[in-house]
């Protein structure tokens, strides 16, 4: 029995309609931007294995840091105990985030980082006697994870529509996604901001927080907004004394070309969520960071005001060691140069793609590029599964979001590989029509 058939007999994969999806490809090792199967076939990982693998696969600095840490201590209960990697990582992150951040809360993955942020915002007001603040504001097409709080923030999402009745009510607004040569964006931004202002006039004192994916909505379709919109948005929301949460789970760690989207947009949220690239794609770990006054609101002489949230693997030392090694790699000039190179190639190649008659809305931000294909294809539909297969036969891992094709490569990708990927894309989308 092959590994793929043994897998089929025993495993239920995430976000997969098993009836129409081919058997999974068994991967035996990774090398830079490539995943390699048992027959030595190489696959260029243009999605950084679900956006986590920022330095490439089997990166030796991170692998060694995990090994060295495992020989010292692999796991410590994080209530009543601490350890060097957790403290050092918190210090490093706080030194890089905007100065208003002063505390790091650890959890395991992107969804839990969001759950923590929502609980933090909600309880922040309750701890101060503002018990009516139970509303949240979020954006259509947003995606914040698959746990119930996170799902509530994007409940119309096609990923988990089946659960929308179980989600709690959230006030939803449009996200002003924009693209190359878009002439409508300013008007759309103004409409959204004025609707939001009218909403806040009425409900600000019942609202705990607004949550947004700054600069780019990921799973909702790689929708990109302008930094100017974020500047106006955060100023508006803060003027009503409502907390702003940035979900930087995808945008963090140079994805937008800057270390964080908040730095690129010169805006400062009250709470920020980080995960995905945090450990360079080696281990699950996440962070919810907040400003000092939020932390202070949880202090008291007994447990009642404390934040009631924990995970068994909170601040796992191996994860923290991986994250520290990843941060060292991120600070290197070579990494920054690679980020610039990727951005430049996206810019050039997208302009060429614009010549294709079935391509529209080309857009890029930092190391992320996307465009819409004029094609009716829902997420996970047969059409999009076929589209994925077209790229895979050339050894490219690209996972269209319905009709949206995007590239989000590891920073170690070579210029030649990235150019080859665009060549294949141009060839494969020719003749793909509605
Ligand atoms: C912006 C954003 N937030 C949250 C999440 C959830 O993260 P995880 O899959 O680690 O739970 C994701 C995952 O894609 C994401 O892109």
Q: Which residues contact 219 (CB under 8 A, 6 or more apart)?
A: 143, 157, 159, 401
Residues 218 and 297 in one domain: yes
Residues 75 and 52 in one domain: no
Tell me what pLDDT residue 80 has.
96
Taking Cα atoms as reference points, which of 294, 314, 247 lies closest to residue 90? 314
Please identify, by atom number, the ligand 1 atom nearest to the C-alpha of residue 213. Answer: 1
DSSP for 4-73, please give it: HHHHHHH---TT--TTTSPPPPPEEEEEBTEEEETT--EEEETTHHHHT-SS-BT-HHHHHHHHHHHHH-
Q: Would 389 be classed as within a structural domain?
A: yes
Q: Would 305 be classed as within a structural domain?
A: yes
- C-beta of residue 225 within 8 angstroms of C-beta of residue 175: yes
**Residue 269 in contact with ligand 1 by CB distance below 6 A:** no
Q: Round to whole Å and give the CA distance between 91 and 333.
A: 21
Tell me what pLDDT residue 377 has.
73
Residues with pLDDT less than 70, the chain: 433-434
Q: Round to whole Å and give the CA distance between 342 and 367.
A: 6
Residues 67 and 43 in one domain: no
Ligand 1 atom 8 nearest Cα: 110
- The SS3 assignment for 377 reads coil
Tell me what pLDDT residue 418 has.
98
Residues 340 and 356 in one domain: yes
Q: Would 205 be classed as within a structural domain?
A: yes
> How many structural domains are present in the chain?
2
What b-and-e string marks burial along 390-411, b requiring 16 or more CB atoms within 10 Å of the CB? Answer: bbeebebbbbbbbbbbbbbbbb
15, 108, 144: residue to mutate for ligand 1 pocket, most atoms within 8 A of CB: 144
Residues 258 and 344 in one domain: no
**Residue 213 in contact with ligand 1 by CB distance below 6 A:** yes
Tell me what pLDDT residue 433 has.
56
Tell me what pLDDT residue 320 has.
98
Strand pairing report for 135-139 and 207-212: parallel
Ligand 1 atom 13 nearest Cα: 145
What is the distance in A from the centroid of ligand 1 to the CA of 249? 6
What is the distance in A from the centroid of ligand 1 to the CA of 350? 26
Q: Would 434 be classed as within a structural domain?
A: no
Q: Which two tokens stand for residue 84?
A: 């060097």
CATH number for 409: 3.90.1150.10
Please identify, by atom number, the ligand 1 atom nearest to the C-alpha of residue 50. Answer: 14
Q: Tell me which of 267, 298, 330 is where a domain ends.
A: 330
Q: Tell me which of 288, 308, 330 is where a domain ends.
A: 330
**Residue 108 in contact with ligand 1 by CB distance below 6 A:** no
Residues 294 and 369 in one domain: no
Q: Would 130 be classed as within a structural domain?
A: yes
Q: Which residues contact 63 (CB under 8 A, 6 or more apart)?
A: 282
Residues 118 and 265 in one domain: yes
Ligand 1 atom 16 nearest Cα: 250
**Residue 400 in contact with ligand 1 by CB distance below 6 A:** no
Please identify, by atom number, the ligand 1 atom nearest to the C-alpha of residue 51. Answer: 14
Please identify, by atom number, the ligand 1 atom nearest to the C-alpha of residue 142. Answer: 1
Please identify, by atom number, the ligand 1 atom nearest to the C-alpha of residue 145. Answer: 6
175, 269, 276, 281: residue to mutate for ligand 1 pocket, most atoms within 8 A of CB: 276
Q: Would 258 be classed as within a structural domain?
A: yes
Q: Tell me which of 330, 357, 379 is where a domain ends.
A: 330
What is the distance in A from the centroid of ligand 1 to the CA of 109? 8
What is the distance in A from the centroid of ligand 1 to the CA of 232? 25
CATH number for 88: 3.40.640.10
**Residue 250 in contact with ligand 1 by CB distance below 6 A:** yes
List pLDDT tens digits, range 346-364. 999 999 999 998 999 999 9
Please identify, by atom number, the ligand 1 atom nearest to the C-alpha of residue 251. Answer: 1
What is the distance in A from the centroid of ligand 1 to the CA of 284? 12
């Amino acid at each position: 029995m092959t590994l793929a058939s043994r897998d089929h007999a025993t495993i239920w994969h995430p976000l997969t309609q098993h009836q129409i999806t081919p058997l999974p490809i068994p991967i035996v090792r990774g090398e830079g931007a490539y995943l390699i199967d048992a027959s030595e076939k190489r696959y260029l990982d243009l999605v950084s294995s679900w956006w986590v693998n920022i330095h490439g696969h089997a990166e030796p600095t991170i692998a060694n840091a995990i090994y060295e840490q495992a020989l010292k201590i692999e796991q410590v209960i994080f209530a009543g105990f601490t350890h060097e990697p957790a403290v050092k990582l918190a210090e490093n992150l706080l030194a890089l985030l905007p100065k208003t951040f002063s505390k790091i809360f650890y959890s395991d993955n992107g969804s839990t980082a969001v759950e923590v942020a929502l609980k933090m915002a909600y309880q922040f007001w309750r701890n101060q006697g503002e018990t009516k603040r139970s509303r949240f504001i979020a954006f259509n097409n947003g995606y914040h994870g698959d746990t119930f709080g996170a799902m509530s923030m994007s409940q119309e999402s096609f990923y988990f529509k089946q659960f929308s009745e179980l989600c709690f009510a959230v006030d939803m607004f449009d996200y002003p996604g924009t693209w190359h040569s878009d002439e409508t964006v300013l008007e759309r931004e103004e409409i959204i901001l004025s609707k939001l202002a009218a909403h806040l006039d009425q409900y600000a004192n019942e609202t705990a927080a607004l949550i947004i994916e700054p600069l780019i909505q990921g799973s909702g379709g790689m929708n990109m907004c302008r930094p100017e919109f974020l500047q106006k948005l955060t100023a508006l929301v803060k003027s009503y004394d409502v907390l702003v949460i940035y979900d930087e789970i995808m945008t963090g760690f140079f994805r937008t070309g800057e270390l964080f989207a908040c730095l690129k947009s010169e805006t400062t949220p009250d709470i920020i969520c980080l995960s995905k690239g945090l450990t360079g794609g080696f281990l699950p770990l996440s962070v919810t960071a907040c400003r000092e006054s939020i932390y202070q609101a949880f202090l008291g002489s007994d447990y009642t005001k404390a934040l009631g949230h924990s995970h068994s693997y909170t601040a796992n030392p191996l994860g923290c060691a991986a994250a520290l090694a990843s941060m060292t790699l991120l600070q290197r000039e070579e990494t920054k140069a690679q980020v610039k190179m990727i951005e430049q190639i996206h810019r050039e190649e997208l302009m060429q793609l614009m010549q294709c008659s079935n391509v529209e809305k080309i857009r890029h931000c930092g190391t992320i590029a996307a465009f819409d294909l004029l094609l009716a294809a829902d997420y996970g539909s047969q059409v999009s599964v076929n589209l994925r297969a077209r790229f895979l036969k050339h050894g490219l891992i690209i996972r269209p979001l319905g009709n949206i094709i995007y590239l989000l490569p590891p920073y170690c990708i070579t210029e030649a590989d990235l150019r080859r990927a665009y060549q294949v894309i141009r060839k494969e989308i020719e003749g793909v029509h509605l």
